[in-house]
C-alpha cells in the first residue's frame, strides 16, 4: 500500500481531478495476518477527560491521550477559555490545570471545527463561566444536530443568542439550574454527556432523562464511568435516567486513557477478513467503551476471541476469511456500521444492519454513503430508512474503483479493509483519518507487513 498524488486514471468514481489517494493492495491468496497492533488512545475518553480535568481544581495528567484533529479542537477550545493545557510525550500526555469550575476567561471565541464532542461537551461548560462566549464550528458541524442541547440549556436558564444550529453566543452565569430535565438521544447522546459532566455545578441535583429508541446508551454510560474515576458519582436509577449531585467535586489526578475500541475494531476486522490473528494490547472487552462489543459481532461471524494477559484481545479469523452472515441492531455501535458493511461483502449470505438512522447525521450520511460505496465496489445493497442490507461480493468484481470518503474518517478506514480482499480499490482523501486516527494507514501497513 502507498499514498500518492494520483489522478487515478481509469478508476471509476465521482471525485474528479488530481487528489491525494491511497491505492490498496490485496493480500496474497492464502496469506494470513499475524500481528500485534498498538492502538492509540480513545478519542471519546480523551475529550471527556479533558473537560472533566478542566472542571477539577488543580493539575491532572491524562496518560495515553489521543492526538488527533478532534482532541486538538477540544484542547484549543479549553485554552481559549483560560484553561492551561500542556502537551508532553509527543502528545500522549496532556497536563491540564483545572479551575475547579468553568472557564476563567470572561470572553472567548471557541471553534469546535468538525468535532461533535468538542461542541457538545463545551457548550454546557460555557454555562459554568461568567462571561460571553461564542461557539462555532466548520460547515458540516453547523449542519449536525444541536437543537436538543440548545433547548436543554435554555430550559436550564442559560441565555443563548442564535441557534438551534451553530454558531451560538452563550452567556455564562456560573452554572445550571439543575432539577428534572429531559433530552432526546436518538440523533446523538453527546449532549446528554455534556450536561451530565456539568451537573455538579448546578444549583440543584441534576436529574436527566434521555429519551431514546436505542437498545443501549453506551456513550452515556462511558461518561458516567469516567465521572466516577474523577470522584463524582453519576447514579442511574432506571433506564435512560441519570442523577448527578449538586456540589460534588471533581478530583484532579493522573488518569490512564484506554486505547480506542473504535479504532481497534478495524484491526479485529482485519483478522476476520484474512483468516489471520490480531492482538490489540490494552483494549479488549472494555467496561467503558461500547464499541468493544464489536468483538461479539465478530464471534457471531465465526471469529474466535480470547482475552490477553495485558488486558487486550486476540482475534482469530475463520479459515480463509469465510464469514457467517449476521442481522444486527447496531444502534449501540454506530461507529462500526461501516465496518460490518464491508465484512458483509465477504460473508456467506446477506448481512443486515438496522436501528441506525442516527448515523445519517454524522460526518456524512453514513447509511447513504455505505450503500453508495458498497454498490460502487460491485455489491448488491439495499438502503432502508434505518439501515441497509448487503449481499456477498462476486469474485468477478475486480474492476478498478475509487471509493469516495465524503470527508468522513470512518468511511476511509472501513473501506480500506475492503481493498485487502477486493482488487483495484483506491481510497479518495485518505487524510480525513486525521480526525480520530492520524496514523491509521501507517499502522495498517505495519499490520499487513
List the catalytic residues. Answer: 335
Q: Which helix (H) or strand (E) holds 140?
A: helix 139-143
Cell of 196: 451530565
- HSE, CB side, 13 Å, CA atoms: give it for residue 123: 37
Cell of 191: 449532549
**Pairing assessment for the beta strands 401-403 and 425-428 based on DSSP bridges:** parallel
DSSP code at position 335: G
**In a 3-state reduction of DSSP, which class is residue 432?**
helix
**Paired residues of 179 in beta bridges:** 206
**In a 3-state reduction of DSSP, which class is residue 333?**
helix
d(CA 234, CA 177): 17
Nearest to 82, CA basis, from 120, 55, 63, 60? 55
- Strand arrangement of the beta sheet that strand 381-384 belongs to: 327-329, 351-354, 387-390, 381-384
d(CA 342, CA 269): 9
Amino acid at each position: 500500500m502507498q499514498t500518492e498524488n494520483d489522478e487515478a486514471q481509469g478508476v471509476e468514481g465521482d471525485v474528479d481531478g488530481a487528489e491525494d489517494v491511497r491505492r490498496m493492495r490485496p493480500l496474497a491468496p492464502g496469506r494470513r495476518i499475524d500481528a500485534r497492533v498498538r492502538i492509540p488512545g480513545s478519542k471519546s475518553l480523551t475529550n471527556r477527560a479533558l473537560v472533566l480535568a478542566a472542571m477539577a481544581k488543580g493539575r491532572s495528567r491524562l496518560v495515553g491521550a489521543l492526538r488527533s484533529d478532534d482532541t486538538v479542537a477540544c484542547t484549543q477550545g479549553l485554552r481559549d477559555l483560560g484553561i492551561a493545557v500542556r502537551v508532553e510525550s509527543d502528545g500522549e500526555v496532556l497536563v491540564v490545570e483545572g479551575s475547579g469550575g468553568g472557564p476563567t476567561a470572561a470572553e472567548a471565541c471557541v471553534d469546535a471545527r468538525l468535532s461533535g464532542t468538542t461542541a457538545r461537551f463545551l457548550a454546557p461548560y460555557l454555562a459554568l463561566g461568567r462571561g460571553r462566549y461564542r461557539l462555532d464550528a466548520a460547515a458540516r458541524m453547523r449542519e449536525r444536530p444541536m437543537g436538543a442541547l440548545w433547548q436543554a440549556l435554555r430550559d436550564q436558564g442559560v441565555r443563548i443568542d442564535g441557534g438551534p444550529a451553530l454558531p451560538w453566543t452563550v452567556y455564562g452565569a456560573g452554572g445550571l439550574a439543575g432539577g428534572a430535565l429531559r433530552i432526546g438521544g436518538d440523533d446523538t447522546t453527546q449532549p446528554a454527556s455534556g450536561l451530565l459532566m456539568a451537573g455538579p455545578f448546578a444549583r440543584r441535583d441534576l436529574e436527566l432523562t434521555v429519551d431514546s429508541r436505542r437498545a443501549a446508551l453506551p456513550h452515556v454510560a462511558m461518561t458516567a464511568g469516567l465521572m466516577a474515576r474523577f470522584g463524582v458519582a453519576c447514579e442511574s436509577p432506571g433506564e435512560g435516567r441519570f442523577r448527578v449531585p449538586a456540589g460534588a467535586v471533581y478530583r484532579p489526578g493522573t488518569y490512564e486513557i484506554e486505547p480506542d475500541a473504535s479504532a481497534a475494531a478495524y484491526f479485529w476486522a482485519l483478522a476476520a477478513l484474512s483468516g489471520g490473528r490480531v492482538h490489540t494490547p490494552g483494549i479488549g472487552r472494555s467496561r467503558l467503551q461500547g464499541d468493544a462489543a464489536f468483538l461479539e459481532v465478530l464471534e457471531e461471524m465465526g471469529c474466535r476471541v480470547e482475552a490477553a494477559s495485558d488486558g487486550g484481545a486476540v482475534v482469530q479469523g475463520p479459515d480463509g476469511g469465510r464469514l457467517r452472515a449476521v442481522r444486527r441492531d447496531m444502534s449501540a455501535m454506530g461507529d462500526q456500521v461501516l465496518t460490518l458493511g464491508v465484512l458483509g461483502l465477504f460473508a456467506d449470505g446477506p448481512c443486515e444492519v438496522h436501528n441506525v438512522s442516527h448515523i445519517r447525521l454524522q460526518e456524512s450520511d453514513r447509511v447513504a454513503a455505505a450503500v453508495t460505496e458498497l454498490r460502487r465496489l460491485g455489491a448488491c445493497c439495499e438502503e432502508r430508512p434505518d439501515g441497509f442490507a448487503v449481499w456477498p461480493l462476486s469474485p468477478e468484481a475486480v474492476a478498478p474503483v475509487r471509493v469516495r470518503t465524503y470527508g468522513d474518517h470512518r468511511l476511509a478506514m472501513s473501506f480500506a479493509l475492503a481493498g485487502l480482499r477486493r482488487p483495484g480499490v483506491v481510497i479518495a482523501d485518505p487524510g480525513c483519518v486525521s480526525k480520530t486516527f492520524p496514523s491509521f494507514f501507517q499502522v495498517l501497513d505495519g499490520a499487513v507487513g
